[in-house]
Amino acid sequence: MDLPLEEKFDWGGKREHAGRKREGGTGLRHEARPEHDFDHPVHATWRVVRAVGCLRAKKPFAVIRKAIKAATESGTEAFRIVHYSVQGNHLHLIVEAADARALGRGMQGLAIRIAKGVNRLLHRIGPVFVDRYHRHDLEGPRETRAAIAYVLQNFRRHAAQRGERCSRGWIDPCSSGKWFDGWSTIIIRREDDDEDDDPPPVASPKTWFLRSGWQKFGLIGIDEIPGQRARCIKRNA
């Protein structure tokens, strides 16, 4: 016997576990962010929803790089993106901000630029990022060096975890590594690199940690893999 219509569809009120299922988040509690000290750069990590696909594909990466560049060009001294790397389903940033308000506004503006650009590219609507970005304020020169290496060499790190090895001297094109002047090896630009004449999409650092403080613990090897013990290297002038 057919059930009454109201029993078929159970429209009698809110049901447990009903509604659109939320994609796994970062586990970050949505509470007020802590205060921020300008002298301490921030390592920020953002994950994207699966529907967005691989961020390292040519067109999505171009959208993200354009958003970073726009944020840099339109930004003020209050917020700067200094380093970045884009991975398959997440991106890493090292930023500077005058205070917590400037940090929040700067990251929010970047998120809006990226989300609008990616959704326009993919002809979709809806969230692009899984949750709020993960924030870690860098506490000293040693930690800052580790964060720079972690961000710029993140692809090498993931490759090593998969048992793969990147070519010697290779710089991740989906990072700001080509504009980084702290490699232990002098980088020779390729003649066929069309972007060599473009201004960097990132800003020059202002904090002592990012300008020179981190170098107390050695320059970063071009083939260095974050998490592996690194030798302190000084490059000849």
Cα of 132 vs its chain's centroid, Å = 12
Q: Which CATH number fits domain 34-217: 3.30.460.10, 3.40.50.2000, 2.30.30.830, 3.30.70.1290?
A: 3.30.70.1290
Mean pLDDT of 35-57: 95
Q: Over 195-222, what HEC string results?
A: CCCCCCCCCCCCCHHHHCHHHHHCCECC
pLDDT averaged over the chain?
Answer: 84
Amino acid present at 45: T
Q: Where are the domains of the chain?
A: 34-217
pLDDT tens-place string over residues 179-231: 999 999 887 665 555 555 678 999 999 999 999 999 999 999 999 999 875 54
Position 227 scores a pLDDT of 81
Mean pLDDT of 64-78: 88
Task: Report pTM.
Answer: 0.81
Position 132 scores a pLDDT of 87
Question: How far lies 70's CA from each of 22, 156, 170, 191, 203, in Å?
Answer: 31, 27, 27, 26, 11
pLDDT tens-place string over residues 132-190: 899 999 999 999 999 999 999 999 999 999 999 999 999 999 999 999 999 998 876 65
Position 18 scores a pLDDT of 46
Torsion of CA 54, 59, 60, 65, to 10 degrees: 130
14-28, 30-44, 119-133: lowest mean pLDDT where? 14-28
Mean pLDDT of 30-52: 87
